[in-house]
Amino acid sequence: DINGQFTVKSVPPSVYQVLVSSVGYLTQKETISLKAGEALVRTYRLREEALQTDEVVITAARREQLNSEAPVSIAVLGAKDIEVRNIVQLDDALRYTPGVQLSDNQVNVRGSTGFSYGVGSRIQFLVDGVPMLNADTGGIAFNLVPTAQIKQVEVIKGPGSALYGGGALGGVINVITKDFPEKPETSFRSYVGVHPPVRYTEWKQNWAGSQRNRYFWGANISRSEQVTPKLGYWMNANYTQTEGYFQNSDGYEGYLAAKLGYQFSSQLKMETLITSSLTHKNGFVYWASGRDALRVAKTSLLNGSSDNEVRRLAILPVFTFLVNPSVFISLKNRFYGGTTIPIWNGALVERDQWTTGARFGSELQVNIDLKAKRYLILGAGFDQNATNSKRFFGGDDTNFAQPEWAAFGQYEQQLFKKINLVAGFRLDHYEISSNEVVQRFSPKLNVSYTLNPALNLRVAWGYGFRVPGITERYVNNSEFLPVIPNTQLRPEISNGYEAGLKGFFVLPIEDWAGQYDVAAFSNQYTDLVEPKFQNNARAFQFVNLTKGQINGLDVSVSAGRKDGRLLFNLAYLFLDGKDRSDPNNVLPLNYRSKHLLQASISVSPLRRLEVGVDFRYASTFERVDSDFGNFIPDATLHLPTKVWDTRLRYDFGKIQVSLLVKNAGEYYYMERPAILAPTRNFILQLQSNL
C-alpha cells in the first residue's frame, strides 16, 4: 500500500529468500524459514543508494531522454550539489560544473567567452526552457533564480542555436525548477559567514574596513504542496546581506518566487513561474591598483565603482496540451523586465537617469512521436525586447528595440536499434532598425551509436550565432570608461564539431561503480564582438574584431560506492584558443585559460556525517587585453586559480548543520581584470526540512 506494507498469504511451509528493492535504494536480502500455520512480520528499512545513475535530461533534444543518449555534451548539476555548498546565487554553482569557467558573473563554456564586463552573453540562459537574457545588456541575472527550488541545471557545451536561437553561440544553460511534492514540504535555511582580514599589510593601509572581520548572512524559506490532484504550488523567499570583503562592496538583496500549477483536464496543464528580485548594492568595478587591491579606483579620470538598485520581475506562464499519446503541444510565454537605478550619495537618483529594459514573447512547440523510434519537433516564436536609458545611451534618442521571429524543427530517428540520428534547423529574423534586418539559418546534425548498454559514441556538428545586444550597439557613456556606440556591429557566428564517448563502468572493488564522458571538439568563431580602444576617438567601442578557433579536450569522471559513503568527481578541460584575425600574427584568444581542472570528494565516515572537499584550478590567461591597462592600473595582472573549499555536514534528522570554508588555502587571485576574487571565508549553515 501507500505506506509500503505488503501482505503475502497462503505461503506453503519452506525456506524462502526475501528480496526487497526500490529504485534509488539499496536492495536488502534475507533468508527466512516459515513453519506451518506461522505468521511472520518483518520490517525493512531501505538505505538510499547514491550511485550516480543515468540522469534524465531535457535540453539536449527539447524532449526527455537519458543523458547517455544525448547526442551532444551535456553536464548536469543536481539539487544536492547546490544545497551542500551553501549556493546562494546560481553562478556560484556553475563554478563546480565540468567545462565551465566564471569570470566574475560572466559564463565561459569551453572558452567561448572572454570578458566584457557582463555585456553580451554567448551562452543562452533558460529557466524551465524559457529564455531569460537581460533586455538591455544581454547578460544573465543569476540572482533572479530561486536556488532552493532548483531540481537540476543542464549545461549544453557547444553551439546550440539550431534549437535555442541567438545567444546560444557557445552553449545553453537550462535551469529546471522542482515539481510539486506529494506531501507538503517546508524548508528553511540560514547562514552566517565572515571574511577575516587579509594577510598583506600593504592592502590594508588605505581602507579602514580591512582591519576587522567582514560579515555576511542570509536566510531562505520555502513551502511546496500538491494541494489537490489538480492544484500544486511552491513559494520561496530569500534575503542576503553583506559587508563585502573590499571597499564599496556592501549591500543587500532578496527575491520572492512562486510556481503555480493547475491541471485543467487530463490533457491541458498550466504552470506559471513568477520571480522578482531587488538588489541594493555598492558596486566595486575595478581596484585602485594591484598593491591597493581592496580600495576602489577614485581619481579625476577614473570611477571604479557603480552603486545601483536593481529591480527585476519575470512572469513565465507555460501551457501544455496532450492532443493524443503521440502529439504534445507546449506554449511558453514570458515577460521579463528590469530597472537599474543609480545611487548617488546614498539616495536614488531622479527617474530620467533610470535604465529600464523589458522583453516579452511566446514560443509554440509541437512534439510528435512518429512511432518506431522516430520523433519530430516543430516550433515557432517571437521575442520583443526594448531598452530606455538616458544614462547609457545619451543624446535625444534613448529608446531602442530589437524584435525577433523564429521557426525551428528537428527530426530524430533510431536506425538498426543502435544508431540515433538527429537533424535540426532554426531560422531567425531580427529587426535591428527600420533600415536593417538580420536573418540567420542555423542547422545541426548529430549521430550517436550505442555500442552496448554501458557505452555510447557520438559525433555532432552545429551552428551558433548571436546578434549583438542593445547596449553593445548604442552605449554612449564615460561614467566608468569612455565608451562610444557602434551601430554597424555584425552578428557573431560559430561553427562547432565534436566527437565523444560516454559510458558506465564497474570497478573491481566491491560496490564501486562510475561513469565517464570524453569529448574532443573544434569550434570556429567569426566576427566576435569585443571592446577595443579607438585611438582617434580616445574611447572604447564594441567592434567585430576577432576570428577565432578553439580546439580542445573535455574529460569528466565520477565514481563512488553504491551506498553513497564515498563519491569522487574529476573534470579536466584543455583549450587551445587562437585569434586568427591576422593570419600573419596568430595570437592566443584574450581571457582564456589553457587548462581547467575541477575535483571533488565526499566522504561519510559516519551515517549522519559528511565531509567534502572541492578543488578548482585554472591556468593563467594566455593573453589579456592591454587596452584596459591604459586606464586601469594593473589591469593586465592575472594569476592562476588554485582554490580549495571544504565542508563538514551533520544530519540531526530534521535539521542539518554545516561548517564550510571557502578558499580554505587563503589564495589571492582574480577571475577578471582588476578585482580580487573572494578571499577566505567561513560559513555556518543551518537547514531544516519539515
27-49 pLDDT, tens digit per residue, is: 666 767 777 777 888 888 766 55
d(CA 86, CA 89) in angstroms, rounded, equals 9
Give the tens place of pLDDT for each residue, 441-498: 999 999 999 998 889 999 999 999 899 888 888 888 877 778 888 988 999 999 999 9
Over 70: is that where the pLDDT of 62 sits?
A: yes
User: What is the predicted pLDDT for the residue at 17?
Assistant: 66
Give the tens place of pLDDT for each residue, 232-250: 999 999 999 999 999 989 9
d(CA 534, CA 627) in angstroms, rounded, equals 10
Q: Give the sign of the dihedral formed by CA 290, CA 294, CA 296, CA 298.
A: negative
User: What is the predicted pLDDT for the residue at 680?
Assistant: 97
Which pLDDT band holds residue 50 (cuts at 50, 70, 90)? Answer: very low
Give the tens place of pLDDT for each residue, 67-102: 777 888 899 999 988 888 888 899 999 999 999 998
Which pLDDT band holds residue 51 (cuts at 50, 70, 90)? Answer: very low
HSE toward the beta carbon, residue 155, CA cutoff 13 A: 22
Q: Angle CA(607)–CA(613)–CA(616) in degrees, nearest 5? A: 155
Q: Are 590 and 554 in contact (CB under 8 A)?
A: no
User: What is the predicted pLDDT for the residue at 58?
Assistant: 83
How far is residue 62 from each of residues 65, 268, 576, measured CA to CA in Å?
9, 19, 31
Lowest-confidence pick of 100-104, 155-159, 160-164, 301-305: 301-305
How far is residue 27 from each of residues 30, 379, 604, 607, measured CA to CA in Å?
10, 44, 20, 17
d(CA 592, CA 623) in angstroms, rounded, equals 7
Share of the chain above pLDDT 70, in %: 94
CB atoms within 10 A of CB 619: 18
Give the tens place of pLDDT for each residue, 333-392: 999 999 999 888 888 888 888 889 999 999 999 999 998 889 999 999 999 998 988 878
User: What is the predicted pLDDT for the residue at 52?
Assistant: 46
d(CA 674, CA 670) in angstroms, rounded, equals 7
Give the tens place of pLDDT for each residue, 655-672: 999 999 999 999 999 998
Over 70: is that where the pLDDT of 299 sits?
A: no
Which pLDDT band holds residue 3 (cuts at 50, 70, 90)? Answer: low
Give the tens place of pLDDT for each residue, 503-527: 998 887 777 889 999 999 999 999 9
Q: Mean pLDDT throughout 4-15?
A: 73
Give the tens place of pLDDT for each residue, 642-653: 999 999 999 998
Question: Cα 556 to the chain's mean position, in Å?
Answer: 18
Which pLDDT band holds residue 561 (cuts at 50, 70, 90)? Answer: confident
Residues with Cβ < 8 Å from 98, sequence gap 6 or more? 75, 517, 554, 556, 571, 573, 598
The most confident of 67-71, 132-136, 303-307, 506-510, by mean pLDDT: 132-136
User: What is the predicted pLDDT for the residue at 397?
Assistant: 62
User: What is the predicted pLDDT for the residue at 25?
Assistant: 58
d(CA 257, CA 580) in angstroms, rounded, equals 45
User: What is the predicted pLDDT for the residue at 506?
Assistant: 85
Please give the mean pLDDT across all residues of the chain.
89
Over 70: is that where the pLDDT of 23 sits?
A: no
User: What is the predicted pLDDT for the residue at 301?
Assistant: 55
Share of the chain above pLDDT 90, in %: 56
Q: Give the sign of the dihedral formed by CA 20, CA 21, CA 22, CA 26.
A: positive
Which pLDDT band holds residue 181 (cuts at 50, 70, 90)? Answer: very high
- Domains in the chain and their CATH numbers? 1-49 (no CATH), 56-689 (2.40.170.20)
